[in-house]
Structure 1
Amino acid sequence: MTQRSDAILERMMALHPKIIDLTLDRVWSLLDALGNPQTALPPVIHIAGTNGKGSTQAMIRAGLEAAGKRVHAYTSPHLARFHERVRLAGDLISEDALTGVLDECYAANKGAPITYFEITTCAAILAMARTPADYTLLEVGLGGRLDATNVVDRPALTIITPVSMDHESFLGDTLAKIAGEKAGIIKRGVPVIIGPQDETALEVIEARADRLGAPILAHGQHWHAGSEHGRMVYQDESGLLDLPLPNLPGAHQVQNAGCALAALRHLGFDDTATEAAVTRAQWPARMQKLSGGPLARSAPMAELWLDGGHNPAAGAALANHLANLPPRPTFLVCGMLNTKDIAGYLRPLAQVAQGLTAVSIPGEANTLPAEETARAAAALKLPAETAADVPAALAQIAAHTPKARILICGSLYLAGAVLRMQQPQ
């Protein structure tokens, strides 16, 4: 069903020809016209990084809510519908509330150039500033220094999850440059939690924190997280926690949980919050198992998984997770954007998969054609074919390996299309 917010969002797409144009000038102008709602937000936890931002945010939210706190959360992109980006005091923003703030921002902007992400971020901030809550979780969209979320002078806490190569055309062509952009969310005197980092990235992040007098809580120095005997073990200067493994699948989620636990412990929360962070977090399209729904009809005996990771670090994490699942023939259904490092993403996955079926991402202008994805896989000695769409890909795999493990992967945009296919019509 088409909603009024869809029409407003479509109108906003025309305000600026570039999808991404990193600067804060347009955001500051609109926020000023709106009365600077960013100054009225509940205490902010600002999260940047290449991988793990969303999962870390979801775990912090689960912990805070278990402790009885009301939590705003802002994330991007959405998967099935825009409303997923904004949670107000725990609940997805309503259609009426979303339509109201979008209309207000559109009017206040007076037709001036502004990107879709910038104006919708301002709308989210406006909605969150007007709704009582105890905490605000802001996830960076791209980079950090010039991201539209980087408008809070003094957050309660900043977090930088693992940094790796991604979005090089916008953030820089070296790990040091990318880390510098992510470190742009660090604020003077505000503690920063640093997830596991390559030494180059860590040096850049710590140097900025030192310049700004921001206390550092870094993985491997001030806190440690790992798994032992099927449990998660977390330790910091306050002591040791013995917890269940995160309910979000994948060994990499242990380190994301470590960032979340470091945040909760720094904020003074107890075992109720820390255990809920690892056991109650929900985050779709991160090694999400698909059970039932329309897609299951295309491969009724297969084990279906969905993941939206799209860079080399995500490919490595997925390959590691697949390698540790019970043995089963594994095939990929992959669709990617043409801006991504497809060889870097597929290289580790080619070591654990028996084949790949490539698809184009439906409705996405910047999709990599299925034929190019298949060629990239074949160049890595991964047998590849193409399919018209995801249901056809599943049926092709099921025809020769009915009980396959099938991972649909390569893009959050593909993941969103898959989740929409799974929704009741």
Structure 2
Amino acid sequence: MGVIEVGLGGRLDSTNTMEHKVVTVISKIGLDHQSFLGNTIEEIAREKAGIMRPGVPCVLDESNPPVVRKVVEDYAKEIGTDVILSSTESAFLDGLSEEDFEPHQWQNLACAYTAFHLAYTKPASPLHHLLPAIQNLRWPGRLQTLDIRSVTGRREVVLLDGAHNVQSAEVLGSYVDNRLRKGASKVTWVLAASKGKELEGILKPLLYPGDCVAAVKFVPVDRMPWVEAMAPQDILAAASACGLDTTQLRDADSNLSGALRWAATVADGGPLVIAGSLYLVSDVLRLLRDAEQLKSQLLG
């Protein structure tokens, strides 16, 4: 059995060539990729609903707003299938504590749990497979703690997250506020973004006056020439509009290692977060991998 992620949208996605879908899942929907999917949450929901197939049940994240639920359920009636809202029954709750997860993680787990129950047709309970997988889950680029000592010399771990739209930025901002800002005078950020992103909405839940920001461009994305990095000066202008002092801003251009070194210096052991783009996540992980490989070669 395979778990296949839709690339973009749903209605026109290449995953629709699959002939043997057992269950489909629509998680929390937010405004993103409007140039492809539509300018309203209803239009985007309709595009996402296109992954559904007649007779194949669809799990919908119950935390979606009513307008999303209506669009998805109306389309399900059109094609002849059922929508099942995500659920965490008592059996699921017995094995895990909601307190150990962020709210969005718990919502995503509810979707996975519900879909797994629909897809798992063997008589034995699937929970003995599912619980160890959840307990050992590590998701690169999503609230990932990272050691950047090989590039910067900083001993404290940093937070790496691919938040790149308003919805994911709100989740990241809540995490940073609850976990990192307590007892800290500032948070230092290394940020990148794709051109066309709604930057004001993304930065608003992240940045506070007194924070420091290094803006950087991610490298060109292989085989995706339509994806372009936003100019660092545009990111810094948006950060300044959030109330940050211009003396606490750094234009790193395309120099990611330089951005990380500057951020590590000004953070001075305080919270450091890298965010704004999954392409930046890729660049950071590649930079650290190459640094570790070079270190191993020199020591070898």
Normalised to the residue count of structure 2, the TM-score between the two structures is 0.84
CA distance 1:337–1:209, change in 2 (3 Å)? same
Residue 206 of structure 1, aligned match among 62, 73, 81: 73
Alignment partner, residue 274 of structure 1: 130
- Supply the AA of the counterpart residue of 1:387: A
Residue 157 of structure 2, aligned match among 287, 299, 303: 303
In 2, are the aligned partners of 1:311 and 1:345 still within 8 Å (CA)? yes
Deviation for aligned residue 1:242: 2.4
Residue 196 of structure 2, aligned match among 339, 344, 349: 339
In 2, are the aligned partners of 1:160 and 1:192 still within 8 Å (CA)? yes
**Counterparts of 1:347 and 1:402 in 2: how far apart (Å)?**
24
Structure number with higher strand proportion: 1
**Secondary structure of the equivalent of 2:272?**
strand
Deviation for aligned residue 1:254: 1.1
Structure 1 gaps, min length 5: 1-134, 224-233
Deviation for aligned residue 1:390: 2.6
Deviation for aligned residue 1:240: 5.1
Deviation for aligned residue 1:303: 3.0
**Counterparts of 2:117 and 2:9 in 1: how far apart (Å)?**
26
Deviation for aligned residue 1:248: 9.7
Deviation for aligned residue 1:352: 8.9
In 1, are the aligned partners of 2:188 and 2:266 still within 8 Å (CA)? no
Alignment partner, residue 172 of structure 2: 318
Residue 229 of structure 2, aligned match among 355, 367, 371: 367
- Supply the AA of the counterpart residue of 1:182: K
Matches within 5 A, 1:142-157: 142-157=8-23
Post-superposition Cα deviations, 1:194-239, rounded to whole Å, max 9, x if no partner, equal 01212211110111112223222113xxx2xxxxxxxxxx327xx5
Alignment partner, residue 386 of structure 1: 251
**Counterparts of 1:204 and 1:178 in 2: how far apart (Å)?**
10
Aligned length: 274
Matches within 5 A, 1:404-415: 404-415=270-281
Post-superposition Cα deviations, 1:300-347, rounded to whole Å, max 9, x if no partner, equal 144311111211001001011111215233221000110211111111
**Counterparts of 1:374 and 1:314 in 2: how far apart (Å)?**
20
**Secondary structure of the equivalent of 1:150?**
helix
Matches within 5 A, 1:40-119: none
CA distance 1:199–1:277, change in 2 (3 Å)? farther
Alignment partner, residue 252 of structure 1: 104
In 2, are the aligned partners of 1:309 and 1:410 still within 8 Å (CA)? yes
Deviation for aligned residue 1:261: 0.9
- Supply the AA of the counterpart residue of 2:35: S
Post-superposition Cα deviations, 1:15-38, rounded to whole Å, max 9, x if no partner, equal xxxxxxxxxxxxxxxxxxxxxxxx
| 1:218 is aligned to 2:67 | no
In 2, are the aligned partners of 1:302 and 1:402 still within 8 Å (CA)? no
CA RMSD across the alignment? 2.3
Matches within 5 A, 1:345-364: 345-351=202-208, 354-363=211-220
Deviation for aligned residue 1:249: 6.5
- Supply the AA of the counterpart residue of 1:418: V
Normalised to the residue count of structure 1, the TM-score between the two structures is 0.60
Structure 2 gaps, min length 5: 222-226, 295-300
Q: Percent identity?
A: 30
| 1:262 is aligned to 2:114 | yes
Alignment partner, residue 297 of structure 2: none
